[in-house]
Structure 1
Amino acid sequence: MSGSQDTLVIPLWIDGHAYLTMTTQFCDVCHAVTGEVLRRTPLTGADEAQVAVSAAQRAQAGWRALGAAGRARVFAAAADGLTTYADHFAGLIIEENGFSPEAASAEVAASVAALAAAADASAEFAAGAGVLALVADRHSPLAAPLQRALVALQTGATVVIKPSPRAPSALYALAEVLGEAGLAGGVLNLVHGDDAAVVGLATAEGVQALVAVGQGDFATRVGALLAPHGKTLAA
């Protein structure tokens, strides 16, 4: 940890608002080019994972009851909100991921398109859908995890996402935009951390499935963390 005590700490997002927790370990979020410490991410574990999953469980009934049309309205509003803040999101991605301006804009555009497509879909709640835990790497800090989360959200499931602790800001800002768009608290939650947070999500009571979104051997590495606990990744 090289950041000063005054460096901004990115909170978790649980139950529709920023969630602060006590931890002694942090990950520096550095500028991809200059190496400057921009922010810090708290490295949390099983306790915070369970709080997030419990919030997601409580939100399930209301999210399902909203129906496909109600969920579509939220997605459409979120697409509009993300479009409004597109430059801000692109700036976060450039800073934390080292994307070119063109690539960062494309990442945001793909996310807007995913929300718009979800708004046009008419998927109904499938029996058995519950809480999806999603672990993402930094190769696609916004679009890839959002696209996978929307597959679950469209059907009435609720989601807990753990982004890369080194590039968490775009997903945190997305949670804020979704809240402004009318997404009820607990439908989408964000926890920060490293291996302990992954295991915490996998073993939390109430998680129906855990998926990994990343490149290369990312899914293999996540699966190796789960194996000692008798858990496996979902397809």
Structure 2
Amino acid sequence: MEFSPDGPLAIPLWINGHAFLTVTESFYNVTHPTTGESLRRVPLCGTNEATAAVTAARAAQTTWAEMGLAPRRVCLAKLADALENYTGHFAKLLMQDVAIDEAAASAEVAAAVAALRGAAVGETGVFALVTDAARPLANIAEVIAPALMAGATVVVKPSPRAPSAAYALCELSARAEWPAGVLNLLQGDTAAIDGLCTAGIDRLVYRGNAALGVDIGAIADAAGTPYVMLPA
């Protein structure tokens, strides 16, 4: 994934195996945590976009599950290999979004690669993952890999403060020839989370700051959606 050097660029969603463009009323400006430079923009999505993402994940889930464990492991291994090959690019995205140094960024990419390669088998179904801005790549890989191994499909909703590596990972999954709809990306904040719950996911999973997790849990409870808050 290459971003234009000519100014802030809106990062699209990723739905059903391709970039998904949408028009929203507002955007979040992604700024460099140290310099304050405006880097990118993300659309603050709601119910319509969440429904499209969940519909794609639901449509792909049966076929993905029926592929069998060995082919799914091959898919995750191909993504891990591709991610490792693009370590420098992903490290740069992390350094821009969360202002960590190169060593820490490279270590986070390595952790994500290890998670994809060494995933145990988790719980299947169609689920949404919400993360905060801490470890925005590794947290995603560590949570989704076991579920994907089990045959689950997923919609990832990263923090609008650190969305870049998540989008790049989705783009890389297409280059690794993943089936469309297995991995989807929704941008936004609380309205997007509410949309995911009302769209009929099997569970909402959150990993990050505990205080934010309580607020997200309240959204899930109001919608009657099973909710799991994982330790940061």
**What SS is found at the alignment partner of 1:94?**
helix
Q: Which residue of 1 aligns with 2:3?
A: none
Contact 2:133 2:158 in 1 (8 A): yes
Question: After the TM superposition, which residues 1-80 of structure 1 pair with which residues of structure 2 at under 5 Å, given as runs?
Answer: 7-80=8-81
**What SS is found at the alignment partner of 1:44?**
coil
RMSD over aligned Cα atoms: 1.7
TM normalised by structure 1 equals 0.90
Q: Which residue of 2 aligns with 1:169?
A: 164
* 1:233 Cα offset (Å): 1.4
* 1:6 Cα offset (Å): 5.9
* 1:219 Cα offset (Å): 1.3
Equivalent position to 1:196, from 176, 191, 200? 191
Q: Which residue of 1 aligns with 2:88?
A: 87
- 1:111, 1:222 → 2: CA distance? 24
Contact 2:194 2:220 in 1 (8 A): yes
Q: Which residue of 2 aligns with 1:233?
A: 227
Contact 2:202 2:226 in 1 (8 A): no
Q: Which residue of 1 aligns with 2:102?
A: 101
**What SS is found at the alignment partner of 2:75?**
helix
Do the aligned partners of residues 228 and 76 (structure 1) sit closer, same or farther apart at CA in structure 2, a change above 3 Å counting? closer
- 2:132, 2:66 → 1: CA distance? 32
* 1:61 Cα offset (Å): 1.9
Question: Is the aligned partner of 1:146 residue 2:147?
Answer: no
Do the aligned partners of residues 231 and 156 (structure 1) sit closer, same or farther apart at CA in structure 2, a change above 3 Å counting? closer
* 1:172 Cα offset (Å): 0.4
| Number of equivalent positions | 224
User: Any stretches of 5+ residues in structure 1 without a counterpart?
Assistant: none
- 1:101, 1:216 → 2: CA distance? 27
- 1:62, 1:216 → 2: CA distance? 35
Contact 2:93 2:165 in 1 (8 A): yes
Letter in 1 for 2:209: Q
Contact 1:135 1:212 in 2 (8 A): yes
* 1:225 Cα offset (Å): 2.7
Letter in 2 for 1:192: Q
- 2:177, 2:67 → 1: CA distance? 12
Letter in 2 for 1:208: D
